[in-house]
Structure 1
């Protein structure tokens, strides 16, 4: 680090401080002292810059100094290694000490390790192009890291700059063959069958007859232009079962297929694992693209404009966050913000991402290097286009602005399709959405910011014809922004006061007609009037700036956003459509209300969509109830005009569930509605955890109960060395899942989102506890409305809606346990209704394996322990003997 002034690397661990002094790239001195030995530490640092993993460490030292009455300067600027790593290694995802290669068991070794990482990061920075480093130093101006970027710039070599972006050559356009050429089903078997391409090219590949059966059915759907509903058990390999025929058919016909998933994990698996394998193995040339919604992509024009305007609209915190984006924005080839694992989305990204309303289209100076344009071109020129369900429906609403026209679609995780369609066809309005829209127009914080403030400042420095009139209109709109913001706060605030306290779990209140808003009608009318005036004013302003293309695009985008707010407010408060459900939603612990609406039935919309498709493939591990597809066919709109071309297929799992899974249903617990049930659940979880010591996932249907159980067990399990994790209590979902996988033997309590889409193979998950049968809350507005509609039609809502929905979710929950052929484990269903009620057997019969009734906690522990101690053959024999003895 020749040329850089001396600095000190600090770390704190277990009551000790470790410090290393570096000068000219070499360690000159070391210090190890108790963390309360502040005079020694201060003398060692002696006003020099401090390198630490994060500000929190330094803040802890400074808090201790304050408590001890020690004031005055003792250090120079703090250079955070974590912040620097997020900026330089934007792709890494994990910036903890371990991920950075720093030893965590010794405080002095950690300090030396941080010094080494800091040196590496500075070297990496110094290898970047000078113009990028200049931009980074500009963003860091006035912050403690500015000196680091200036040093990197001083040391950097001269590289040619490409700040403006690279023009990406569009892929060759597809020309679908008419009439299509059929692909022989034997071609699919040659790839997936015994001794086929996959078995030759994929290490550890196992031939699965179920996979071949499904692949042939999908191939037939492509050849005949059919709709197929295919349930494929876990382990079938369903992704290759639909990708192989899709690739072969699309390559033969120069056509394309949109493959849609619900979860990012599956999306990534398809694009980064399965498709590259097929590209290498099939010997068939085909192109594939991964496409996201417009809001995922950086807008180059807005990015460059931000710098052109001197970052004037950014707060200090936003400038710190912007620093993490500079190198990524220069190096990314896709502009997809999800590449940047260390950047938290928020208001800053809203100022930088692509938006339809403010897009200049082919009139944009960055059109040829535009990330959205590039994504659309890739989508149009690719045989396989991987997306998620949300993009399919948002793109339909935007008239195929991203994906373009297509006629073949595959929906994986199709059991979620109705829910996602409902979310996209509904409307909602919240105070934070209103605030965000107004803040983009005008905000007075540390300084004036927002589009109107920037436009006004720019006009004052130029001599545009009609400048005074335009500035007058801007002032008028700024006043209107304040009035709309105030009206919104009054309306939503008064509305929230009239609703029940949401408590720690949130609340939803059904809105049956417009009289719900009578007491806040004055505030509602003021807000609507203000939004309409703001819309008209922005429309006039955009017309006056017709020659200023960029400003006009921004103004029209803001105008459309305001217009959409007004439309959504009107729609959600008029409560005028009988085919929609309306409700007010209060988030946990907050007196802020969100107005929501959703269609009662999405089947007509989906049916219209299928009518435009030549081939539709829908697949999931859970589509049938009791072996019958009738429920899903009705919910997904496949029973009307499409019924004649719908085919169904159900293939089981290749797993040997008899030897891999034990299902136990305790009969000694109270009913979930009886007193003492929660305490009994706590006792079962406590005893199973401490006696069996296996990775355990407990699935709850109630946030309240999860929180109570977590509170009761946390200290006791912690004292026994067992990590207890609770959803909503110990971090976000992704963090909990990662920690659960890493900490073998831990216990995770999860609610709704852990019932599906979570893959935890091996020893990390060996005991699955289903606390209650997963019936939806009957007072949930959508559930209540659907049940009311079925009653009006003379149908039984429990048997025709509530039970099928719960069975599908129950099967999804069961599917968390066995993900691979070598997995094994125990499922414990703590809801006695599974064996005591008339409908209970519907749940248990939906499983691929039998169950055992358990009459005491001691018997349960004995069974579970024995299960893990036995080998697979012994387990299979024992279950067969048990079945003969009790007839289950």
Structure 2
């Protein structure tokens, strides 16, 4: 069944090739392309090509494509070793042995497909594979058809239309109001013990944590005064099961779900996996656990249908066919962080996947032919009847801001990764009046204006509702006419022009001129920003003109919303369910996509026209101007507004509406500052989580980590590296990574240094048998990179901030963590204002707290289990000692020359455990 193709595994600059005749060859990229033979069998063609310095490897037999066809919706790290592990085969460490293993991996997948050929998911598999061969000459088609025993099947499109085989959702009666029974600490402990089972490892801290968390589920005694618990749980405490215990009890007892909110997709997935302890039966877990994300995360079946219809016999047939296979196997249709293989976008281009989600608010709800099978609608209805809903901070905050969204306001909330609440609220409650945002609103209102686009526009989305009614048509037409004041296509190319009639473009041009005038690095080719006040003379008149234009747009949109709402009230009994749902959805969309931003933009433009504020006065908002540039070209400009303290809208909009909240993290408090006052550390945690803005004081709880950090870790500051010398930095990373034998994560504060370091150290590491992967270099998204790093025990990974938080890599796969320099906060205008007004007169301490927290978070990645060992290194001799005081108790940080640190790393990590 296998193609007569050589097997290829690449490292940096060269590849091991096993020919069908059994001959091993070492080839460069150029030598590989020069061979006249069947394209090779490999894993992840784009990543393989990059390692060989090639743009592509035409016609490659990529085993990941075969895996996606044979095992849809199943996880796999996209490397030869990761693929072997996914198939239950022990991968060899030797690269030649890996090349020899590739045909075995292909055989294993094809044999499994042959065994499962009669299963329902494979009903249309053969005709789909034939279609993939006809449309795009898919190299695995013949092997797949042979495995399915249907070599002579005719190509067909049935398999490209998986929506025909999906199950409809069904509505249920509205849930009754929740009861208000609390959870006693002893009951939380008992539920925890039941989940852990007999003979489980005793963790007193975990039981104490469950007891403390139970207080967040006590009955509320006054409106706007939720029961709030701040619980810091050191790594290894077992906080996930610790809060699931009282949360599940409360939900079962009171008939309403508890929402667990996280900051990262990784933690959403981990919590879902932990719930196997509570609901071991998969069917029960599917009924009682729902994962909720924003609509833009899910596959849109209408987008898939339109993509299939336009693919014809083109190259997009293969990725669409693999997506269609996934649709039949997926749990919930989540394209981002669910069971969708993120590397499919890397193989075929991210647009092939991202265009299948509704990222532009074009959903037509019940007017959609796939409404009854829609993944988003399924998830909304599962959440209504669930016991536990796993969401994310952004969704919880946005839904709260708009009255609760489709699932209403949750009564009980658990915010895991609670140290991110400040940043999540900062993002959720901010506003951006930029060319990109205003042009997107124009597109949402007017739809496609020439060119090839599927953008529908507001008229088409409402045409089934309007029915030609003048009271709807009149404000709609007025709004669409007023929308032409927003930037039309190609606006960014006109930013530098002197004149123009469009009021939005006129405002953006004056913003650009002020930024250029006020910033020292305005012609550096990158993003620049400047303060709003004092304003240039041309800016207020341009803002006034633009404000009037937005008001002319806002007024008819408000009228349209109000009249649709009135129709719902007056004609509700006469409307069928579909029409009513479309009207409700239209009203929500108008509010979220148009009226809310228009109100914020109007307030911002009025601020431009006001007098300059008194220097030093504490503002409610921070306003500033930006100019975005790429390769010396202007790509966007505009005005930004953030709350000075975003926990205020969080407290008033999200927290005050709930009956109880648990905010938890391993790093809630800033421990180790100049002040050793524990009360001050708690006050800081309350300020960062919004607790200080609520009427009832939060209950505080802290559980220390059970890990022996003094024995299991070492920490160093390298004392002899010259800052700014990338050569020395790269040399230090190379030496440390070699000393640890891999398993190292290098964290950078600048992408440029990351890329330069990667280019310098990759060949030496690869020569030593240590694969090196890097964010912003490899053709993989962050989730795939972490999966690879976790699966390949001796690999190394370079990354930035996104790799510091929420990465769970237990065991030897992460045994060394290296910072290139102290992760100070970026010196932006927003940070300056918060440093001035939120630091209580101690601006230096404000910066220190941020850097100390980042170091502490990163250190927490090293030790995830009791038997882990790890080394923490900072390659910055200027690291202040006060920043290191936040590391776990017992960790001694030593300042040593590089040669001694390298020797210590090797000795400690190679020493047998215990």
| TM-score normalised by length of structure 2 | 0.71
Say yes or no: does 1:648 pair with 2:700.
yes
Q: Distance in 1 between the 2:304 and 2:862 partners?
A: 45
Say yes or no: does 1:208 pair with 2:203.
yes
5 Å-filtered alignment, 1:536-685, equals 561=593, 576=608, 579-584=621-626, 586=628, 589=631, 591=633, 592-593=635-636, 595=638, 596-608=640-652, 609-626=654-671, 627=678, 628-642=681-695, 644-666=696-718, 668-669=719-720, 681-682=729-730, 684-685=732-733
**Displacement after TM superposition at 1:230 (Å):** 0.6
C-alpha distance after superposition, 1:441-475 (max 9, x if no partner):
22655x6754379979x99xxxx999xx99xx99x
Q: Distance in 1 between the 2:909 and 2:109 partners?
A: 44
Question: Mean alpha-carbon deviation: is it higher for 485-494 or for 523-532?
Answer: 523-532
- Whether the 8 Å CA contact 2:543–2:605 is kept in 1: the answer is no
Q: What are structure 1's unaligned runs of at least 5 residues?
A: 2-6, 21-29, 61-74, 874-888
- Whether the 8 Å CA contact 2:714–2:870 is kept in 1: the answer is yes
Say yes or no: does 1:386 pair with 2:390.
yes
| Higher alpha-carbon Rg | 1
Q: Distance in 2 between the 1:230 and 1:236 partners?
A: 11
Q: Distance in 1 between the 2:311 and 2:440 partners?
A: 14
**Displacement after TM superposition at 1:138 (Å):** 8.2
**Displacement after TM superposition at 1:808 (Å):** 1.6
- Whether the 8 Å CA contact 1:581–1:785 is kept in 2: the answer is no
Say yes or no: does 1:769 pair with 2:818.
yes
**Displacement after TM superposition at 1:512 (Å):** 1.9
Question: Mean alpha-carbon deviation: is it higher for 210-219 or for 327-336?
Answer: 327-336
Counterpart secondary structure, 2:218:
helix
* CA RMSD in angstroms, aligned pairs only: 5.7
Partner of 1:752: 801
Question: Mean alpha-carbon deviation: is it higher for 218-227 or for 628-637?
Answer: 218-227
**Displacement after TM superposition at 1:612 (Å):** 1.5
- Whether the 8 Å CA contact 1:681–1:830 is kept in 2: the answer is yes
Question: Mean alpha-carbon deviation: is it higher for 675-684 or for 99-108?
Answer: 99-108
Partner of 1:417: 421
- Whether the 8 Å CA contact 1:358–1:553 is kept in 2: the answer is no
Q: Distance in 2 between the 1:402 and 1:580 partners?
A: 32
- Whether the 8 Å CA contact 1:538–1:555 is kept in 2: the answer is no
Partner of 1:4: none
Q: What are structure 2's unaligned runs of at least 5 residues?
A: 9-14, 50-57, 221-226, 498-508, 568-574, 609-618, 672-677
Q: Distance in 1 between the 2:782 and 2:329 partners?
A: 29
Partner of 1:259: 260
Partner of 2:456: 451
Q: Distance in 1 between the 2:490 and 2:277 partners?
A: 57
Partner of 1:64: none
**Displacement after TM superposition at 1:753 (Å):** 1.8
Q: Distance in 2 between the 1:869 and 1:55 partners?
A: 32
Say yes or no: does 1:239 pair with 2:292.
no
Counterpart secondary structure, 1:295:
helix
Counterpart secondary structure, 1:402:
helix
5 Å-filtered alignment, 1:64-75, equals none
Counterpart secondary structure, 1:768:
strand
Q: Per the alignment, do residues 534 and 189 of structure 1 end up closer, same or farther by CA in structure 2, a change over 3 Å counting?
A: closer
- Whether the 8 Å CA contact 1:235–1:820 is kept in 2: the answer is yes
Q: Distance in 1 between the 2:401 and 2:32 partners?
A: 64
C-alpha distance after superposition, 1:765-796 (max 9, x if no partner):
2223344332212x2232112123348xx722
C-alpha distance after superposition, 1:629-651 (max 9, x if no partner):
11121122211333x33111111
- Number of residue equivalences: 802
Q: Per the alignment, do residues 663 and 399 of structure 1 end up closer, same or farther by CA in structure 2, a change over 3 Å counting?
A: same
Q: Per the alignment, do residues 152 and 227 of structure 1 end up closer, same or farther by CA in structure 2, a change over 3 Å counting?
A: farther
C-alpha distance after superposition, 1:294-344 (max 9, x if no partner):
22234456656x38xx83599966666444333444554633334332553
Say yes or no: does 1:695 pair with 2:758.
no
**Of the candidates 426, 431, 448, which is equivalent to residue 427 of structure 1?**
431
**Displacement after TM superposition at 1:375 (Å):** 1.8
| TM-score normalised by length of structure 1 | 0.73
**Displacement after TM superposition at 1:586 (Å):** 3.3
5 Å-filtered alignment, 1:2-401, equals 9-11=4-6, 13=8, 83=65, 86=68, 89-94=71-76, 99=83, 143-144=136-137, 154=154, 163=164, 165-169=166-170, 174-175=175-176, 178=179, 180-192=180-192, 196-198=193-195, 200-201=197-198, 205-223=200-218, 225=220, 226-271=227-272, 273-280=273-280, 287-300=288-301, 306=306, 311=309, 321-332=319-330, 334-338=332-336, 339-341=339-341, 343-344=344-345, 353=357, 359=363, 367-401=371-405
C-alpha distance after superposition, 1:798-826 (max 9, x if no partner):
22x22222222221011111111001122
Partner of 1:823: 868
**Displacement after TM superposition at 1:529 (Å):** 5.6
Which one has more relative contact order, counting CA pairs under 8 Å at least 6 apart?
Answer: 2
Q: Distance in 2 between the 1:503 and 1:871 partners?
A: 56
- Whether the 8 Å CA contact 1:442–1:478 is kept in 2: the answer is no
- Whether the 8 Å CA contact 2:739–2:903 is kept in 1: the answer is no
**Displacement after TM superposition at 1:252 (Å):** 2.1
- Whether the 8 Å CA contact 1:625–1:631 is kept in 2: the answer is yes
Q: Distance in 1 between the 2:774 and 2:586 partners?
A: 45
